[in-house]
Structure 1
Amino acid sequence: MSLHDDAVLVLKGYEGQDELRGLYLDHLAAHEDGMWKACGAGHLTASALVVDPERGRVLLTLHKKLGMWLQMGGHCEPADATLAEAALREATEESGIPGLTLLPGGPVRLDRHPIPAPCHWHLDVQYAALAPAGAVEAISEESLDLRWFGYDEVAAVADTSVVRLMEGVRARLA
């Protein structure tokens, strides 16, 4: 099964955000290259919010290019067999934390946001990754900083997309 096919199956099984989910599925139906950065109409990306539920905190990265506190994530790569693998790979690479596991239940949210041409849109599929006990982060080349924030601190430092993802993760953890 291709990554494109996996994304279609994941999105068909995703419950909620029906209009946005439909837009993602329409995009993939119209663009065989819709998983890749080279797709001029936009492309799917995979991200994961790294969560430490025992301490009530999340790890955010200060994105090097955007200068914003965000969850870990980015472009899918040819070696990624599934969207979940892509999200977990990105979270591991950008957090430096080995042993992350995805929160069961598939994606937590979808977020479509504009990016500069030539690609125009990121259609992000957002997961949550659970940090193992004693996790120690390590800054990657893509980050200016990494920092743990308490659940209640996220709204003060991050944009609404991250806040909504955080809310979705907390609801799933409850």
Structure 2
Amino acid sequence: MVKPATAVEELRAWDPPDSAQAALAQALVSFCLARPDDACLRECEPGHLTASALVLDAAGENVLLTLHGRFHRWVQLGGHCEPGDPSLRAAALREATEESGIAGLEIAEHPLHVDVHPVTCSLGLPTRHLDVRYLVRAPAGAVPVISDESADLAWWPLDALPPDSDTVGEMVALARRA
């Protein structure tokens, strides 16, 4: 399982793109330091770190989004840390692979974006996801396969994102700069 101390190392190694992202990253670091035993566990009721992936096609022209089965919105791939995940980066790659069905994904070394949002997750309790998001590239010709966690899965052109895609546009803008 991702240890909060490992998450702190990952967040501190990142150079956020702006002061808002830097402040939010520091808030996530502070949360981990305050909750050294459970910050990455879904059972942590005040909130918990999650890991997501903005998956771009090989040409960098399309982003793979999932129509989330419970939230009914188009979002990036990702989710909770699991017992075998040694880091947030590893959790993001595992989630992207599981949810896309695509082998051979390549993940960036450092986060792309962080976000905190209210959610009622799988335990049925209102909480917050402290989401650490990574840029991931799919191999050429990758064909996604819908998992049981998605109502749909589709490639979206970077300049024609669905209107209900939350912070995907912000992440796409960061990916273009990267």
Same-fold call, TM cutoff 0.5: yes
Instruction: Please tell me whether the aligned partners of residues 37 and 119 of structure 1 are also in contact (alpha carbons under 8 angstroms).
Output: no
Residues 94-173 of structure 1 aligned to structure 2 (within 5 Å)? 94-104=99-109, 106-116=110-120, 118-154=125-161, 156-159=163-166, 161-172=167-178
CA distance change for structure 1 residues 119 and 44 in 2, over 3 Å: closer, same or farther?
farther
Q: Count residues in correspondence.
A: 170
- Paired AA for residue 23 in structure 2: E
- Paired AA for residue 93 in structure 2: L
Where does residue 24 of structure 1 map in the other structure? 28
Instruction: Kindly state the Cα deviation for residue 57 of structure 1 after the two structures are TM-superposed.
Output: 0.6
Where does residue 77 of structure 2 map in the other structure? 72
Where does residue 11 of structure 1 map in the other structure? 11
Instruction: Kindly state the Cα deviation for residue 53 of structure 1 after the two structures are TM-superposed.
Output: 4.3
Q: Provide the identity percentage.
A: 44
Structure 2 unaligned spans of 5+:
none
1:76-109 C-alpha deviation (Å, 9 max, x unpaired): 01100111110000000001101101034x1000
- Paired AA for residue 73 in structure 1: G
Structure 1 unaligned spans of 5+:
none
1: CA distance between counterparts of 2:84 and 2:53?
18
How much is the aligned-residue C-alpha RMSD, in angstroms? 1.6
- Paired AA for residue 157 in structure 2: G
2: CA distance between counterparts of 1:69 and 1:57?
14
TM-score by length of 1: 0.92
- Paired AA for residue 114 in structure 2: L
Instruction: Kindly state the Cα deviation for residue 2 of structure 1 after the two structures are TM-superposed.
Output: 5.6
